[in-house]
């Protein structure tokens, strides 16, 4: 019942979820989740819509608490969450990044400098003074990434970040995610897109109806999935 | 003006009504051009009283509205209902209550605010604070929705959320302020009672219009009415220009 | 944090604006509050009189114009220093209650019966009681102030003298508007109805349309004004010295002459009749 947030007991483990379930209005969105994510990993949570991918991510971020079981995660200021629809403020692109830095307690002039570096890394320097609302879908998601980048999180959670984007934008975002992850940040990304999962994941967690059905190395998973659910899913998705 | 042989409601009566409007437009023009000092006095007083009331009401109402928007307390729904309903508080009732409060025989008599502009500011503030709070609540709630989860993931506390949202919704909140100001400057019942419509000290545009109407000087009353509407239009015009400049700066 | 500094700036400007609000007049000037009637105010008498008061006594008078009933009520509550109304019965009751010090007669004007130019009720003449009887018989539209003002009290007295009571009988031609003199006249003009008014308000009323004076000159239409200092024993905040100075000026030779000097269209409105010392 109680959720316990401790410093991780196992070296290298960033997130530990222990027999956790999330039950809302009598319906189990997640059941009996056992999961450990290690520092530096690149994890993709794959599954159909409604499988519980977003819920799992919110559990990692402590946006929600488990009804049963326990979750250990790093403190909020070491995490960063990216949504399918980026939550941007009515300000300039630069000010959006400066905002999160100031929330984290970074004072000027470091605040503006770090913000500008993050924008540069995400190829948004040219848009620095533009109103964030006027960016294209792909640019907005890159801005969300820039925001996270600026905070140098240990754990980055991305919930279907490219679901709404055009293919070229998808490529840009994926490349940035890759850069982030190779810099040492742990990446947990959800998607229902198998091709994307193949491109990004080193470890696959396959969710079906709120349960973890498979948790394996990506290469092995895609070659020969163990479960019937996964097999059906992969066949359905491959066109 | 002598006796008029045109009965009301007849064709000739309607003609006279039309010329009444023409007369009042002329009267408005000549009032303005003459630079009448009394007119200047009552206009300045109207602006000062209503602007002050709007500022104070904003300082109280906006944080209140923001709190109501963000609170998860079970009292939320009744609070929202009360807040929305209080937008319809009859000004004349507020005027009566403030009058009784500020009377020498009343609890706040010591301040000596009855029949003074300060009393009028108090009455108008009470009138428009619910409006500002209720509209601010809705505005901030609408702004909060898409940002809620992100705020939580950033670990923001309530105060940080409120400040961020107040700035986030700043353009809509500016409109809320204008709505409050418009309501305040158009109000006549409460300021009449609490101010006493004293020539040279608590007479404002609306009470003057009421007075001139009751004296039967309809062209003058209409002229003042036109001036009041023009004044409100100018205020709104400034606000819109300011907003446009801010938006251009952001883009 | 930027938003906080914005809030602080706003707070400061609001407070300073409010502080600039004149709650009391500047140091040297004395101010008193006089509760008087709408008919007195709307006749323009105060606009004419007060500059003379200021020059002679140095007192700035703030006039709150209400119906007689409300003006006396303001005095009862201690929100005015002096009351200046025209309803002897109500004024004497005010003194008897201990709310006022002494009732001092200042001036009189008269009431007039106003009505449609063609006088359908044939009420014209010099007799107010006969005029009202004619209105009643003919069932002509009649507008009453109905607001416990001095004028309203007078109107009711005249109906009583005629042994008629259209108000209680709820006659449909009798329109009780519950309003001040000006608004009631506006209503009468729009309805082309009869109405009792004080000459002062009538003379300065600009929306006459089809109305004219039907009955005037009856001694019964005489309307006495009295001035009363609010009792400082009940309300210590009353400005006794300045209030008394104002009253003394009103009944002085200079004050009485000034009152007599107020004219509209060459016609004198108010007739000073303070007791000679």
Task: Summarize pLDDT for C139-172 with one digit per residue, the tens.
Answer: 999 999 988 888 898 999 999 999 999 989 988 9
pLDDT confidence of residue A4: 44
Do strands C267-268 and C263-264 pair parallel, antiparallel, or not at all (unpaired)? antiparallel
The overall average pLDDT reported for chain C is: 88
CB B168 within 8 A of CB B151: no
What sign does the dihedral C263-C264-C267-C268 (CA atoms) show?
negative
Which candidate in C209, C211, C234, C264 is best for mutational testing of the B interface (most B CBs within 10 A)? Answer: C209
CB A14 within 8 A of CB A186: yes
| φ/ψ of residue A210, rounded to 5 | 80, 5
pLDDT > 80? residue C17:
no
Cβ separation C208–B48 shorter than 8 A: no
Q: Is C84 on the interface with B (CB under 8 A)?
A: no
CB A20 within 8 A of CB A70: yes
Q: What's the CA gap between A173 and A162, in Å, rounded?
A: 7
Q: Is A5 on the interface with B (CB under 8 A)?
A: no
pLDDT, tens digit, for every residue of A65-86?
888 898 999 998 899 999 999 9
Which candidate in B147, B150, B156 is best for mutational testing of the A interface (most A CBs within 10 A)? Answer: B150
Helix (H, G, I), strand (E, B) or coil at B71: coil
pLDDT-based confidence at B8, cuts 50/70/90? low
CB B199 within 8 A of CB B6: no
- Token representation of residue B163: 């400040």
pLDDT, tens digit, for every residue of C207-250?
899 999 999 988 889 889 999 999 999 999 999 999 999 999 99
Do strands C100-116 and C222-230 pair parallel, antiparallel, or not at all (unpaired)? antiparallel
What is the four-CA torsion angle of C130, C134, C136, C142, rounded to 10 degrees?
A: -100
In the block, which residue shows the tokens 């490219």?
A: A162
Search chain C and give the residue with CA nearest B9: C190
Lowest mean pLDDT among A5-14, A33-42, C175-184: A5-14
Cβ separation B250–A92 shorter than 8 A: yes
Distance in Å, alpha carbon of C276 to nearest chain B alpha carbon: 32
pLDDT confidence of residue A51: 86
Q: Is B248 on the interface with A (CB under 8 A)?
A: no
Distance in Å, alpha carbon of C265 to nearest chain B alpha carbon: 11
Q: What is the mean pLDDT of residues B124-149?
A: 94
Q: Is B154 on the interface with A (CB under 8 A)?
A: yes
Q: What's the CA gap between A61 and A64, in Å, rounded?
A: 8
Cβ separation A76–B146 shorter than 8 A: no
Number of helices and strands (H, E) in chain A? 8, 9
ipTM of the complex: 0.86
């Amino acid at each position: 019942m109680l959720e316990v947030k401790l410093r991780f007991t196992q070296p290298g483990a960033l997130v530990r979820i222990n027999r956790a379930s999330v039950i809302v209005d009598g319906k189990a969105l997640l059941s009996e989740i056992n999961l450990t994510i290690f520092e530096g990993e690149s994890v993709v949570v794959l599954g159909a819509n409604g499988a519980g991918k977003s819920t799992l991510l919110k559990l990692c971020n402590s946006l929600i608490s488990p009804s049963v079981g326990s979750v250990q995660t790093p403190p909020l200021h070491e995490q960063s969450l990216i949504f399918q629809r980026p939550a941007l403020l009515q300000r300039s692109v630069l000010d959006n990044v400066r905002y999160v830095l100031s929330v984290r307690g970074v004072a000027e002039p470091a605040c503006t400098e770090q913000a500008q570096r993050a924008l540069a890394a995400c190829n948004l320097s040219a848009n620095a003074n533009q109103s964030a609302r006027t960016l294209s879908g792909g640019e907005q998601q890159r801005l969300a990434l820039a925001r996270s980048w600026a905070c140098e999180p240990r754990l980055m959670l991305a919930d279907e970040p490219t679901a709404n984007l055009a293919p070229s934008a998808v490529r840009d975002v994926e490349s940035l995610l890759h850069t982030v992850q190779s810099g040492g940040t742990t990446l947990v990304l959800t998607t229902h897109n198998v091709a994307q999962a193949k491109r990004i994941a080193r470890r696959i967690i396959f969710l079906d109806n709120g349960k973890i059905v498979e948790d394996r190395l990506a290469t092995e998973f895609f070659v020969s999935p163990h479960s019937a659910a996964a097999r059906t899913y992969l066949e359905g998705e491959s066109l | 003006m002598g006796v008029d042989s045109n009965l009301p409601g007849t064709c000739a009566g309607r003609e006279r009504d039309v010329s009444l409007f023409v007369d009042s437009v002329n009267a408005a023009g000549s009032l303005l051009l003459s630079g009448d000092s009394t007119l200047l006095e009552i206009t300045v007083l109207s602006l000062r009283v209503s602007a002050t009331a709007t500022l104070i009401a904003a300082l109280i109402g906006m944080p209140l509205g923001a709190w109501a928007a963000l609170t998860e307390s079970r009292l939320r729904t009744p609070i929202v209902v009360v807040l929305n309903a209080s937008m319809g508080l009859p000004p004349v009732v507020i005027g009566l209550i403030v009058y009784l409060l500020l009377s020498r025989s009343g609890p706040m008599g010591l301040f000596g605010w009855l029949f003074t502009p300060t009393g009028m500011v108090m009455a108008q503030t009470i009138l428009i604070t619910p409006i500002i709070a209720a509209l601010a609540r809705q505005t901030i709630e609408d702004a909060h929705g898409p940002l809620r989860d992100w705020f939580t993931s950033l670990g923001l506390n309530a105060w940080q959320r409120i400040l961020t949202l107040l700035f986030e919704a700043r353009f809509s909140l500016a409109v809320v302020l204008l709505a409050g100001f418009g309501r305040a400057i158009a109000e006549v019942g409460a300021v009449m009672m609490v101010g006493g419509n004293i020539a040279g000290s608590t007479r404002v545009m609306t009470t003057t219009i009421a007075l001139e109407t009751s004296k039967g000087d309809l062209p003058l009353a209409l002229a003042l009415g036109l001036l009041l509407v023009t004044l409100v239009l100018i205020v709104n015009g400034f606000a819109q220009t300011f907003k446009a400049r801010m938006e251009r700066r952001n883009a | 944090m930027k938003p906080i500094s914005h809030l602080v700036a706003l707070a400061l400007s609001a407070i300073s604006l409010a502080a600039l609000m004149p709650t009391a007049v500047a140091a040297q000037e004395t101010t008193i509050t006089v509760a008087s009637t709408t008919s007195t105010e709307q006749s323009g008498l105060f606009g004419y009189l007060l500059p003379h008061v200021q020059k002679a006594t140095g007192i700035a008078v703030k006039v709150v114009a209400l119906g007689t009933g409300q003006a006396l009520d303001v005095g009862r509550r201690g929100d005015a220093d002096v009351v200046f109304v025209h309803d002897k019965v109500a004024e004497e009751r005010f003194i008897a209650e201990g709310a006022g010090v002494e009732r001092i007669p200042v001036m009189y004007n008269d009431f007039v019966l106003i009505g449609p130019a063609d006088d359908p009720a044939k009420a014209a003449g010099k007799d107010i009681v006969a005029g009202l009887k004619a209105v009643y018989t003919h069932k002509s539209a009649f507008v009453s102030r109905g607001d416990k003002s001095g004028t309203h009290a007078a109107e009711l007295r005249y109906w009583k003298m005629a042994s008629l009571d259209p108000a209680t009988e709820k006659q449909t031609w009798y329109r009780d508007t519950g309003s001040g003199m000006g608004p009631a006249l506006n209503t009468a003009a729009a309805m082309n109805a009869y109405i009792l008014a004080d000459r002062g308000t009538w003379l300065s009323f600009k929306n006459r349309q089809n109305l004219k004076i039907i009955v005037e000159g009856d001694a019964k239409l005489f309307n006495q004004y009295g001035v009363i200092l609010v009792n400082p024993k009940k309300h210590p905040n009353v400005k006794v010295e300045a209030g008394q100075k104002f009253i003394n000026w009103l009944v002085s030779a200079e004050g009485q002459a000034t009152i007599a000097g107020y004219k509209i269209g060459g016609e004198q409105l108010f007739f000073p009749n303070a007791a000679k010392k």
